[in-house]
Amino acid sequence: MNDLAGKHIVLGLTGGIACYKAAELCRALVKEGATVQVVMTEAAQQFITPVTMQALSGRIVYGSQWDAREPNNMPHINLSREADAILLAPCSADFMARLVQGRADELLSLLCLARPIERVPLLVAPAMNREMWAHPATQRNMAQLAADGATLLGVGSGDQACGETGDGRMLDPQELLADLVAFFQPKLLARRRVVVTAGPTFEALDPIRGITNHSSGKMGFAIARAAREAGAEVTLVAGPVSLATPRGVRRVDVRSAREMLAATQAEVTAADVFVATAAVADWRPVAEAGQKIKKDGSGDAPVVAFTENPDILLAVAQSERARSGTLFCVGFAAESHDLLTHAKAKRERKGIPLLVGNIGPLTFGQDDNQLLLVDAQGVQELPRASKLVLARWLVADIAARLPAAATP
């Protein structure tokens, strides 16, 4: 899967040490299927050579508005007309000021000014010292750029080349790649709030051991990413997994089913969509031992009494917001056999409009999956694909079922 296949990106580099990250970014864009045309300011060429960027992009690098290689001697027109987007990474404080002023005395600012603004978006990845970032002039310039239609991608925080620490670092290449991929996804859930539960729960027997399951959380994390790409404000309530939080998603970590219930109920009060992907343990020990349960040499296993865990999906589905249709609930059923029968029964038992079924042993820990969508009208099968592709299909299906979003 190449999320940027068919996209032509003009990657603009301005003066700053973060130019070293632009090399990895260029490579990542190409690997994701994009063609990349690099344009560099004179200052950028003090930090990284055009030769490096040409080798990584596979295309001649431009740096002068007087470049005679263009038959009409108008690279600012030709390069901007060919682009699906212009990405400035890194974008220095000086270059942001140039953009705000409409300066056009070198190629990169000139082609940004000359771009067809209605169809060639401008994405800006700032990079500068923390004091420069915090300066009122920089903040004013960013606000004006946003008002002029540019998309500001934000900055990272941490150690800076100058030896100081703080905000202003250019985002890492993989973060910028994720932002660019998300930018091109249809905003089907704009102005929506989505809560997703993901991963297993862990029910402690003692301070060392507990009961859990094989769920990796990958499907739920993919759904959270897809919902954010679709424009939603996303909260991910995650059981104990070691996955990275999807870009732009707010994460709440929990361990037990009771913790997940409490966190979920707190989050869905303002949500439009709830997707219960988590594989919640059905039972937990009645009591957790205060110390590790030791073998006594008799060969007899300890007797452990269990009690049923709360049903998170049912609790949310029976809430006033869900019953009134204000909150759209989606359940997941991970089965080992008779998937369709169990999925239909679970949807009716929970009283939800949509249930997604899969065979657990065939998907736990895997990067792909195969899904059944079960609603009151029947069953739709989503063929085996990567979990992110399936998540995007599911998000599109959910979006089509929602009433029109209120205009802000």
Residue 297: per-residue pLDDT:
83
On the question of pLDDT at 407 being above 60, the answer is no
Domain co-membership, 77 together with 171: yes
Domain co-membership, 138 together with 268: no
On the question of pLDDT at 408 being above 60, the answer is no
Return the active site residues.
162
Cβ(336)–Cβ(279) under 8 Å?
A: no
Residue 382, beta-bridge partner list: 371
Domain co-membership, 210 together with 180: no
Domain co-membership, 177 together with 286: no
Residue 342: per-residue pLDDT:
84
In this structure, is residue 408 part of a structural domain?
Answer: no
Output the average pLDDT for the chain.
93
Q: Which of 110, 141, 133, 139 is nearest to 12 (CA)?
A: 110
Mean pLDDT, to the nearest integer, of 276-295?
A: 92
215-270 pLDDT, tens digit each: 899 999 999 999 999 999 999 999 999 999 999 999 999 999 999 999 999 999 99
367-385 pLDDT, tens digit each: 888 888 999 999 898 888 9
137-146 burial, b at 16+ Cβ within 10 Å, e below that, comes to: ebeebbeebe
Residue 338: per-residue pLDDT:
76
Domain co-membership, 112 together with 227: no
Q: Give the chain's domain count.
A: 2
Domain co-membership, 234 together with 174: no
The CATH number linked to 121 is 3.40.50.1950
Instruction: Report in angstroms the alpha-carbon separations of 26 from 18, 173, 186.
Output: 13, 8, 24
Domain co-membership, 124 together with 224: no
Residue 293: per-residue pLDDT:
87
Cβ(221)–Cβ(234) under 8 Å?
A: no
354-363 pLDDT, tens digit each: 999 886 656 6
Domain co-membership, 177 together with 203: no
16-54 pLDDT, tens digit each: 999 999 999 999 999 999 999 999 999 999 999 999 999
Q: Which tokens go with 346? A: 């679970």
* Structural domain boundaries enclosing 27: 8-184
Domain co-membership, 106 together with 222: no
The CATH number linked to 307 is 3.40.50.10300
Last residue of a domain, one of 165, 184, 203: 184
324-339 pLDDT, tens digit each: 999 999 999 876 677 7
In the DSSP assignment, the letter for residue 324 is: T
Q: Which residue has the higher pLDDT, 84 or 408?
A: 84
Residue 336: per-residue pLDDT:
67
Last residue of a domain, one of 184, 203, 238: 184
Domain co-membership, 175 together with 236: no
Domain co-membership, 118 together with 260: no
Last residue of a domain, one of 184, 215, 242: 184
In this structure, is residue 406 part of a structural domain?
Answer: no
What residues contact residue 165 under an 8 Å CB cut-off, 6+ apart? 130, 157, 158, 159
Confidence of residue 406 (pLDDT cuts 50, 70, 90): low
- Between the ranges 78-82, 121-125, 165-169, where is the mean pLDDT highest? 121-125
